Amino acid sequence: MTDETSWSGDVDWDELRAAATEAMRHAYAPYSRYRVGAAALVSDGRIVSGCNVENAAYGVTLCAECGLVSELHRSGGGRLVAFVCVDGQGATIMPCGRCRQLLFEHAVPGMLLETVSGIRTMDEVLPDAFGPRDLEEAGR
Ligand code: THU
């Protein structure tokens, strides 16, 4: 059962990791040669994914999570309920700090992540996150 703010189903982590690994194979990483794939389960049950896309102007590089969030919206919206990202060997890695913030904005409360130290919640990997609510409370 799902809606926009919760998820009460099971998470098939093997399926998610496989989707992330498949996405990683499309990475454009000629500069770092560090390929990343990310995949997430969405609140309606679909899976979205993304890969990193680097740029000759290094700072313009898009992390795999950027592609994933773009895919989330392009394919119908909803919220992320479970997330994993992998390196070029298909091993689970941590999302970078910037991408934790990016994911937080589009996650259900309590979104799960497969991390290098096991399954964690969004709040564990980005405690006391700044988010949309802070702007609302400030009347913006
Ligand atoms: N990278 C990601 O795609 N996601 C992360 O969360 C960590 C870093 C990419 C960016 C860059 O193309 C490469 O990994 C090396 O930093």
Tens of pLDDT along 27-86?
A: 999 999 999 999 999 999 999 999 999 999 999 999 999 999 999 999 999 999 999 999
Q: Where are the alpha helices (DSSP H) in 11-119?
A: 13-24, 64-74, 97-105
Q: For residue 6, is it within any domain?
A: no
Residue that is written with structure tokens 């040669």 in the block: 33
Q: 34: Cβ below 6 Å to ligand 1?
A: yes
Q: For residue 53, is it within any domain?
A: yes
Number of domains in the chain: 1
Average pLDDT for the chain: 95
Beta bridge partners of 40: 48, 83
pTM, full prediction? 0.95
pLDDT of 90: 98
Q: For residue 21, is it within any domain?
A: yes
Q: For residue 18, is it within any domain?
A: yes
| Alpha-carbon span 30 to 40, nearest angstrom | 25
Catalytic hit among 4, 54, 65, 114: 65
Question: Is 114 among the catalytic positions?
Answer: no
pLDDT of 9: 78
Express as a percent the part of the chain with pLDDT over 70.
94
Full DSSP string of 14-44:
HHHHHHHHHHHTT-B-TTT----EEEEEETT
Would you place residue 140 in the very low, low, confident or very high pLDDT band (cuts 50, 70, 90)?
Answer: confident
Q: For residue 110, is it within any domain?
A: yes
| Alpha-carbon span 32 to 14, nearest angstrom | 27
Q: For residue 5, is it within any domain?
A: no
Query: Is the confidence at residue 139, as pLDDT, over 70?
Result: yes
Q: 28: Cβ below 6 Å to ligand 1?
A: no
pLDDT of 78: 98
Mean pLDDT calculated for residue range 102-116: 98
pLDDT of 38: 99
Q: For residue 8, is it within any domain?
A: no
Secondary-structure percent of the chain, ordered helix, strand, coil, rounded to 5: 30, 25, 40
Protein residue closest via CA to atom 1 of ligand 1:
63
**Range of 70's domain?**
13-138
Ligand 1 pocket mutation pick from 21, 25, 34 by most atoms within 8 angstroms of CB:
34
Q: 53: Cβ below 6 Å to ligand 1?
A: no
- Write the CATH number for 71: 3.40.140.10
Q: For residue 4, is it within any domain?
A: no
Q: 54: Cβ below 6 Å to ligand 1?
A: yes
pLDDT of 25: 98
